[in-house]
Structure 1
Amino acid sequence: MSSNLPDRKTVLLVDDHRLFRGGLKLLLARNPVYAVVGETATVEQACHFVDASAPEIILMDIALQGHNGIDGTRRILRHAPEAKVIMISMYAKIDYVVQSLKAGAVGYIVKDSTPDILLEALNAVTKGQYYFDPTILNEIVQVLLDLHIRTPAISDSRYGELTPREQEVMRLVVKGLSSKAIAAKLFISPKTVENHRTKIMEKLGLSTVIDLVKYAVKLGIVDVQTWTGPSP
């Protein structure tokens, strides 16, 4: 952290494209509020920098070599929970947004946004607010509406014994997603998905995916007409 910039918010750039990092540095160099104090290309380098210099804001790409930015956000926030992470990605996908938030990020913008969007995001998170790129706001609103409409009134105590992650995996299984697809969606390994599936079936006392679907339909978690069939 530079001592001659005591009033500027410190920013770490984590992106494996040097040219893109350079563009961000030039943009923020002209701003009196923020100062780029470091740049890295990997999660490992970012973790070392955070431990040594404690930047206040981290601009984190999702698609990094080795560990992805979502996993990197989890790792960094374990050591520096006060840091504000803004995901900055090529992908305007709601799944990436949700997983980023679960990892602890407080903002999400896409790389083809204007400089004004980046500055709006920085300003928002420094005030303790969340920020989402306008291009994904409509999709976020639709997901929230779907959740409100579809959230069941769970009355079976066995469902309450499932962990939040197990409930999430269960909802995806009964929608017909394969273990590989669920793993990609949740940024976990297929083996971890299989372990969750096994525990779900044990806790609910069920034997087959068909039984699980029937159980989910009974609770109102899924409409049987929307089920696409069991997946391996």
Structure 2
Amino acid sequence: MIRVLLADDEAMIRAGVIAILGNDPEIEVVAEAGDGREAVELALSHRPDIALIDIRMPKLDGLAATAELRRVLPEVPVVILTTFGEDAYIARALGDGASGFLLKAGDPRELITGVRAVAEGAAFLSPRVAQRVISELTGQRMNRGQEAARRVGELTDREREVLALVGAGMSNAEIARRLHLVEGTVKSYVSGILTRLEVRNRVRAAILAYEAGIVEPE
């Protein structure tokens, strides 16, 4: 069972999200919060598998709540859920360590797909968000590619292979099947890659993989 903490200041939005997630028998919303501060408190008491957090909330907005959750509960991945798709929100959310970014205006199926993907250890961006990120990466690659290639070049061949699959959006289980490895071994590889590259999460590692040119956007 994937245990989810949901934080949104609008009760109707929370009800809608719960209804959508309820279509998957393996997902359960274990706690609801109406503001960012309450979200952090409930996360500490319930220890969910995933925190699904809106951006604009009172007391502590979703971006600040994400940063706080990554500090106090680094093992709990955060997925940002918002109506806002501006680049500034995307950049800050990813920089604060979010593992996913979903737009409320997106296909409801994306919500379930995103939650399941992050629960399995992958990163997930709504297709509209991914398009923005990839466009940004494509425009910056000439300036940043050399440094990214240098950092990635310090990895072993196997680590680069794993990193490329992380960049392709695969979960640990999918990578394990592709490379004929035990999932625990993949987790160890990913942890080591994040440490060696000095990045905070899989999303930042995936971006570095794009910049280094070891994985190409579709």
* One-letter amino acid of the counterpart of residue 146, structure 1: G
Pick from 102, 110, 114 the counterpart of residue 109 of structure 1: 102
Write the distance in 2 (CA, Å) between the matches of 1:84 and 1:34.
15
Write the distance in 1 (CA, Å) between the matches of 2:111 and 2:130.
15
- Following superposition, the deviation at residue 153 of structure 1 comes to 7.4
Are the counterparts in 1 of residues 101 and 129 from structure 2 also a CA contact under 8 Å?
A: no
Where in structure 2 are the equivalents of 1:77-88 lying within 5 Å? 77-88=70-81
Write the distance in 2 (CA, Å) between the matches of 1:90 and 1:139.
15
- Following superposition, the deviation at residue 43 of structure 1 comes to 1.3
Asked if 1:66 corresponds to 2:62, the answer is no
Q: CA RMSD in A?
A: 1.6
- Return 5+ residue gaps in structure 1 as ranges: 1-7, 155-232
Write the distance in 1 (CA, Å) between the matches of 2:146 and 2:20.
49
Write the distance in 2 (CA, Å) between the matches of 1:138 and 1:77.
25
* One-letter amino acid of the counterpart of residue 130, structure 1: A
Are the counterparts in 1 of residues 24 and 112 from structure 2 also a CA contact under 8 Å?
A: no
- Following superposition, the deviation at residue 152 of structure 1 comes to 9.0
Report the TM-score when normalising by structure 2.
Answer: 0.64
Provide the aligned length of Structure 1 versus Structure 2. Answer: 147
Write the distance in 2 (CA, Å) between the matches of 1:78 and 1:128.
19
Where in structure 2 are the equivalents of 1:145-160 lying within 5 Å? 145-151=138-144
- Return 5+ residue gaps in structure 2 as ranges: 148-218
Where in structure 2 are the equivalents of 1:19-98 lying within 5 Å? 19-98=12-91
- Following superposition, the deviation at residue 106 of structure 1 comes to 0.3
Give the match for residue 124 of structure 1: 117
* 1:145-192, Cα deviation, whole Å (9 max, x unpaired): 1221233979xxxxxxxxxxxxxxxxxxxxxxxxxxxxxxxxxxxxxx
CA separation of 1:150/1:52 partners in 2, compared to 1, >3 Å: closer, same or farther?
Answer: same
CA separation of 1:141/1:152 partners in 2, compared to 1, >3 Å: closer, same or farther?
Answer: closer
Structure with max Cα Rg: 1
